[in-house]
């Protein structure tokens, strides 16, 4: 059974706050209002960019996606276009940013197939030659 995004985020926020302050939190606040696949990498999401160096349109994930086929890069605003807008995300990613509270795994084939790469929380950078324009699925853990 998959964990809900809210519970995953609340757990991560609680753990991070405890580690930083050294205090145990009695309650957790409301989770951020991140919106899945809206073209904006918000806090709590994993973002894939069409171009290297975080350029171009974005494919942002709040939940795991086992098959990028049919998923498209989007602009963060409806009034502006960006390189890659409307292009398939499948095998088309050049850089990424993990703004989630947990690590993500990416795969070169759908449904956890092919080569696996792990991206720790807070990680950002250009895809290596193994993963550039080769990612087809992503899962948080």
What confidence tier does 24 reach under pLDDT thresholds 50, 70, 90?
very low
Domain that holds residue 125: 37-140
Q: Which residues are CB-neighbours of 88 under 8 A, at least 6 positions away?
A: 68, 69, 70, 71, 72, 73
Whether 52 is in a domain gets the answer: yes
Give per-residue pLDDT as tens, 81-118. 899 999 999 999 999 999 999 999 999 999 999 999 99
pTM score over 0.85: no
Q: Is residue 32 part of a domain?
A: no
pLDDT band at 28, cuts 50/70/90?
very low
73 in any annotated domain = yes
Structural domain includes residue 22: no
Q: Starting at the edge strand that comes first in sequence, how are the strands of the sheet with 104-109 ordered?
A: 113-119, 104-109, 137-140
Structural domains in the chain (count): 1
CATH number at residue 69: 2.60.20.10
> Is residue 18 domain-resident?
no
* Any domain includes 100: yes
Flag whether 3 is in a domain. Answer: no
pLDDT, one tens digit per residue, over 50-89 is: 999 999 999 999 999 999 999 999 998 777 889 999 999 9
Token pair listed for 100: 């989630």
Q: Is residue 66 part of a domain?
A: yes
């Amino acid at each position: 059974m998959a964990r809900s995004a809210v519970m995953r985020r609340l757990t991560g926020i609680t753990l991070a706050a405890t580690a930083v302050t050294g205090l145990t939190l009695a309650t957790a606040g409301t989770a951020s209002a991140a919106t899945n696949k809206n073209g904006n990498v918000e806090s709590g999401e994993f973002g894939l960019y069409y171009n290297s160096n975080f350029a171009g349109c974005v494919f942002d994930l709040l939940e795991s996606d086992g098959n990028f086929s049919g998923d498209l890069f989007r602009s963060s605003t409806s009034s502006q276009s960006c390189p890659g807008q409307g292009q398939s995300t499948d095998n088309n990613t050049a850089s990424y940013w993990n703004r989630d509270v947990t690590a993500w795994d990416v795969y070169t084939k759908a449904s956890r197939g092919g080569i696996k790469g792990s991206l720790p929380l807070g990680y950002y950078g250009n895809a290596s030659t193994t993963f550039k324009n080769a990612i087809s699925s992503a899962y948080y853990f």
